[in-house]
């Protein structure tokens, strides 16, 4: 049976219960459990190790200040640390240039096309002249998919179904936008694996050709240990500006968010929480920390203490 | 560089000159398994088994430890009972028509896997029919139709935003009429937390059974190979809704190892039948336990 993170931590805190100080030994036992709990939430193994080592030191440093139960204190320290590590919330995106270009990239099936539509809808709502560019020339019906979404939200989609050169399509899209008074172009690209050299080169070429003011890396919140490898490579190739975390309407712990943040040091800017065009939210590090820990209740308990 | 070394290379280093599996070896093993998404619970299980085994029949060389490790991991993977059939995509021993319903969360690779499966069956001279029962996601029907065209297999569809059960029913009915050997039903991606959508799957199944009581003969759950521990919950919930009978793991052409499937196969006793290794129609392989375990331990 999958043991929930909460259970695991509760188990770990039993080591501390009743003790009035956080000692070396009980912190060691607990950090090990916390590490395993983080890993179960899909935080990268090495990163979980680093974080718990650091938390352990923090816990030791704070032993004098302990006014609540050590177990609760410990949870609070962990939650605070995770929140801090995930950065501040609601980073805005940069919209510069004529037109401003926002490039969307990521693995296959992560939710790029859906997010492109959502972002376009959001910008349109803000009164911006926005356009979508269909630069996925590989996936069957990728263009149709974006067109359907464009129609739903009332945003024009630039596409060249016969053209087999994604860079050329992207460039034409920009020219078209300029001629037609569109101020922002969101460029949807094909899904690609970080190890696919030809495809990584393509997206790098699109970047070079368009000089986007914002590049967003879209990642599925259910991703496991491999998230760090992928994020690292995409970042090396594109030096992206922010991360979009998708499918958070499910029950994934989303530990990949923490791993990616640690590895590339780029903010998570949006979270995607459904298939509908409205399901887009800003990222809140504290909520994400609680989600990874699976213990929002315990946190609020400590807050009240 | 440490990360470039094979697991056995790394393990060999820590076990040299030792006759027991000590803390250092176990830590190394834990890291390797966890980094492949095997998960804490299954990793602990594997390590326990290794420890017991070593206590019983002491290993004398690192080679022997390698072998034990491979065996213990492979033992957790449920044997694919119909391996000879799926190996060759021959359907002689299967009921005709053989109905496969494909399910899974959003974007894992269901439609693509269906295209590849259709291609394999078609290549083996089988008559295949596809049912476009994802009537929800933008251009989902178009996507399946393009696959049908690509691999030269007919697609039964009612267009977008129609009743998926009706499409599935119709696909099976038409399949029977034209004497199809294999009928594969595509369904919309859905997160297992959405009760209504999970009930819809149960309904699709029930409606198909009105026409062909023993259908679907196979419920194939597609899992994304890069998914972490959430895949365990996916397997549990989809099994509850549709009695999943087999698994496919996709996107193994990347750097993700898909280790989560070990715990899933062990817990639910569902065999992994296929793996996806690319986006092309030939990028489907029949799952091979030994090869999978090998790839886990390769960097
Ligand atoms: N539940 C849920 N589903 C989502 C979310 N975002 C995207 N999806 C679904 O995930 C699937 C894949 O989304 P796409 O937008 O097609 O993903 P993509 O990255 O463009 O895929 P490729 O172009 O094939 O690489 C679709 O079924 C979407 O409806 C989300 O936040 N929640
Ligand atoms: N690299 C790689 N990509 C794959 C594989 N299988 C599927 N894909 C890609 O993953 C993306 C999603 O695949 P789909 O078949 O549309 O997934 P789906 O589960 O039908 O998605 P929804 O219907 O939206 O839930 C597409 O870009 C596929 O080309 C695979 O084995 N390897
Ligand atoms: Mg797309
Ligand atoms: Mg599909």
Q: What CA–CA distance (Å, rounded) separates B176 from B278?
A: 32
Q: Is the pLDDT of residue B280 over 80?
A: yes
pLDDT score for A41: 94
* Residue B190 alpha carbon, nearest atom of ligand 2: 25
Q: Do A42 and B229 touch (CB under 8 A)?
A: yes
Q: What CA–CA distance (Å, rounded) separates B299 from B6?
A: 5
By C-alpha distance, which of A272, A234, A245, A274 is closest to A105?
Answer: A234
pLDDT score for B13: 60
In DSSP notation, A111-129 reads: SHHHHHHHHHHHHHHTT--
Mean pLDDT by 10 residues, chain A (305 residues): 49 58 69 87 95 82 55 78 84 92 98 98 97 98 98 98 97 98 98 98 98 98 97 98 96 95 95 96 91 64 44
Q: Is the pLDDT of residue B85 over 50?
A: no
If one compares B189 and B288, the residue with the highest pLDDT of the two is B189
Task: Please state at what angle helix A227-238 crosses helix A255-264, rounded to 10 degrees.
Answer: 40
pLDDT score for B29: 84
Asked if A9 contacts A295 with a C-beta cutoff of 8 angstroms, the reply is yes
**Could you say which DSSP state residue A64 is in?**
G
Instruction: Count other Cβ atoms within 10 Å, centred on residue A300.
Output: 11
Helix (H, G, I), strand (E, B) or coil at A22: coil
Order the strands of the B128-133 sheet from edge to edge: B155-156, B128-133, B182-187, B98-103, B218-224, B246-250, B272-276, B284-286
Q: Is the pLDDT of residue B83 over 80?
A: no
Taking the alpha carbons of A96, A192, B118, B246 in that order, is the dihedral positive or negative?
A: negative
| Residue from the list A3, A109, A141 with its beta carbon closest to the beta carbon of B108 | A109
Q: What CA–CA distance (Å, rounded) separates B56 from B48?
A: 12
The CA-based angle B213-B222-B267, given to 5 degrees, is 85
User: Min CA distance, B221 vs chain A (Å)?
Assistant: 16
A153 contact residues in B (CB cutoff 8 A): none
The CA-based angle B288-B292-B296, given to 5 degrees, is 175
Ligand 1 site, CB within 6 A: A 106, 108-114, 136, 139, 142, 190-191, 246-247, 249, 272-275, 279; B 106-107, 137, 189, 191
Q: What CA–CA distance (Å, rounded) separates A102 from A157?
A: 14
- What backbone torsions phi and psi does residue A148 show, to the nearest 5 degrees? -60, -45
| Residue from the list B31, B191, B231 with its beta carbon closest to the beta carbon of A45 | B31
By C-alpha distance, which of A292, A259, A278, A291 is closest to A47?
Answer: A259
Residues 6+ apart with CB under 8 A from A164: A137
A12: its two tokens: 């770990």
**Could you say which DSSP state residue A295 is in?**
-
Asked if A118 contacts A280 with a C-beta cutoff of 8 angstroms, the reply is yes
- What backbone torsions phi and psi does residue A193 show, to the nearest 5 degrees? -85, 145
User: Min CA distance, B74 vs chain A (Å)?
Assistant: 20
| Chain B interface mutation, best of A198, A226, A234, highest count of B Cβ atoms under 10 Å | A226
pLDDT score for A114: 98
pLDDT score for B2: 38
pLDDT score for B26: 80
Q: Tell how far CA B225 is from the center of its chain.
A: 9
By C-alpha distance, which of A277, A244, A284 is closest to A153?
Answer: A277
Q: Do A223 and B105 touch (CB under 8 A)?
A: no
In DSSP notation, A156-188 reads: EEE--TT---HHHHHHHHHHHHHHTT--EEEEE
A227 contact residues in B (CB cutoff 8 A): 226
Order the strands of the A242-246 sheet from edge to edge: A156-158, A130-135, A184-189, A100-106, A214-220, A242-246, A268-272, A280-282
* Residue A136 alpha carbon, nearest atom of ligand 1: 23
Q: What CA–CA distance (Å, rounded) separates A153 from A127?
A: 13
Q: Looking at residues B60-87, what average pLDDT do you find?
A: 72
- Judge whether A151 is closer than 8 Å to chain B, CB to CB: no
Q: Which one of B130, B278, B279, B281 would you pick to mutate in the ligand 2 pocket, going by the greatest count of ligand atoms within 8 A of its CB?
A: B279
Q: What CA–CA distance (Å, rounded) separates A57 from A102?
A: 41
Asked if B59 contacts B89 with a C-beta cutoff of 8 angstroms, the reply is no
Q: What CA–CA distance (Å, rounded) separates B39 from A41?
A: 9
**Interface pTM, i.e. ipTM:** 0.94
Q: What CA–CA distance (Å, rounded) separates B31 from B72?
A: 17
Ligand 2 site, CB within 6 A: A 108-109, 139, 191, 193; B 104, 106-112, 134, 137, 140, 188-189, 250-251, 253, 276-279, 283
Give chain A's length: 305
- Residue in chain B closest to A191 (alpha carbons) equals B279
Calculate what percentage of chain B has a pLDDT beyond 70.
87
A299: its two tokens: 């946190």
pLDDT score for A126: 96
Q: Looking at residues B216-220, what average pLDDT do you find?
A: 97
Q: Is the pLDDT of residue B190 over 50?
A: yes
pLDDT score for B277: 97
| A232-287 pLDDT, tens digit each | 999 999 999 999 999 999 999 999 999 999 999 999 999 999 999 999 999 999 99
| Chain B interface mutation, best of A107, A222, A223, highest count of B Cβ atoms under 10 Å | A222
Calculate what percentage of chain B has a pLDDT beyond 90.
70
- The pTM assigned to this predicted structure is 0.94
**Mean pLDDT, all residues of chain B:** 89
C-alpha B189 – ligand 4 centre gap (Å): 6
């Amino acid at each position: 049976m999958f043991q929930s993170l909460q259970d695991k931590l509760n188990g770990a805190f039993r080591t501390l219960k009743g003790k009035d100080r956080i000692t070396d030994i009980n912190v060691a036992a607990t950090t090990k459990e916390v590490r395993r709990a983080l890993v179960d939430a899909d935080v990268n193994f090495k990163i979980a190790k680093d974080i718990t080592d650091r938390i352990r030191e923090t816990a030791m440093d704070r032993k004098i200040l302990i006014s609540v139960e050590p177990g609760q204190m410990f949870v609070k320290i962990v939650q605070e640390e995770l929140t801090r590590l995930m950065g501040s919330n609601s980073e805005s995106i940069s919209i510069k240039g004529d037109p401003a270009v926002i490039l969307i990239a990521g693995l296959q099936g992560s939710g790029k096309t859906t997010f492109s539509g959502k972002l376009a809808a959001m910008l349109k709502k803000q009164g911006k002249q926005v356009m979508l560019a269909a630069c996925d020339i590989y996936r069957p019906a990728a263009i149709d998919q974006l067109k359907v979404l464009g129609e739903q939200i009332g945003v024009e989609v630039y596409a060249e179904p016969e053209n087999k050169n994604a860079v050329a399509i992207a460039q034409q899209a920009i020219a078209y936008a300029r001629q037609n008074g569109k101020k922002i172009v969101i460029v949807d690209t094909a899904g690609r694996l970080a190890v696919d050299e030809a495809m990584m080169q393509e997206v790098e070429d699109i970047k070079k050709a368009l000089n986007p003011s914002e590049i967003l890396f879209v990642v599925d919140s259910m991703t496991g240990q491999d998230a760090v490898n992928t994020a690292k490579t995409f970042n090396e190739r594109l030096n992206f500006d922010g991360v979009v975390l998708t499918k958070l309407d499910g029950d994934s712990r989303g530990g990949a968010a923490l791993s990616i943040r640690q590895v590339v040091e780029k903010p998570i800017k949006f979270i995607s929480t459904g298939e509908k065009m409205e399901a887009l939210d800003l990222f809140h590090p504290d909520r994400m920390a609680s989600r990874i820990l699976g213990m929002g209740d315990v946190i609020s308990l400590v807050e009240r203490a | 560089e440490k990360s470039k070394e094979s697991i056995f290379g790394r393990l060999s280093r820590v076990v040299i000159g030792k006759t027991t599996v000590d803390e250092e070896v176990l830590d190394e093993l834990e890291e390797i398994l966890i980094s492949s998404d095997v998960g804490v619970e299954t990793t602990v299980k594997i390590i326990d088994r290794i420890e017991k085994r070593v206590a019983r029949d002491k290993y004398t060389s690192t080679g022997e430890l390698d072998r034990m490790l491979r065996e213990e991991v492979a033992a957790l993977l449920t044997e694919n009972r119909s391996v000879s059939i799926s190996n060759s995509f021959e359907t002689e021993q299967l009921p005709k028509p053989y109905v496969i319903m494909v399910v899974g969360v959003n974007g894992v690779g269901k439609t693509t896997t269906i295209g590849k499966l259709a291609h394999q069956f078609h290549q083996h001279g089988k008559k295949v029919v596809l049912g476009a029962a994802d009537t929800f996601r933008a251009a989902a029907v178009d996507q399946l139709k393009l696959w049908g065209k690509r691999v030269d297999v007919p697609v039964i569809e009612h267009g977008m935003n129609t009743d998926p059960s009706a499409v599935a029913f119709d696909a099976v009915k038409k399949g029977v009429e034209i004497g199809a050997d294999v009928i594969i039903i595509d369904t919309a991606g859905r997160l297992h937390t959405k009760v209504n959508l999970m009930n819809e799957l149960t309904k699709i199944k029930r409606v198909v059974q009105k026409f062909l009581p023993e259908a679907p003969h196979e419920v194939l759950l597609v899992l994304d190979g890069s998914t972490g521990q959430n895949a365990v919950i996916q397997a549990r919930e989809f099994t509850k809704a549709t009695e999943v009978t087999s698994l496919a793991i996709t996107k193994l052409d990347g750097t993700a190892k898909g280790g989560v499937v070990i715990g899933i196969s062990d817990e639910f006793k569902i065999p992994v039948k296929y793996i996806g290794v690319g986006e092309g129609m030939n990028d489907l392989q029949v799952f091979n336990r030994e090869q999978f375990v090998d790839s886990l331990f390769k960097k």
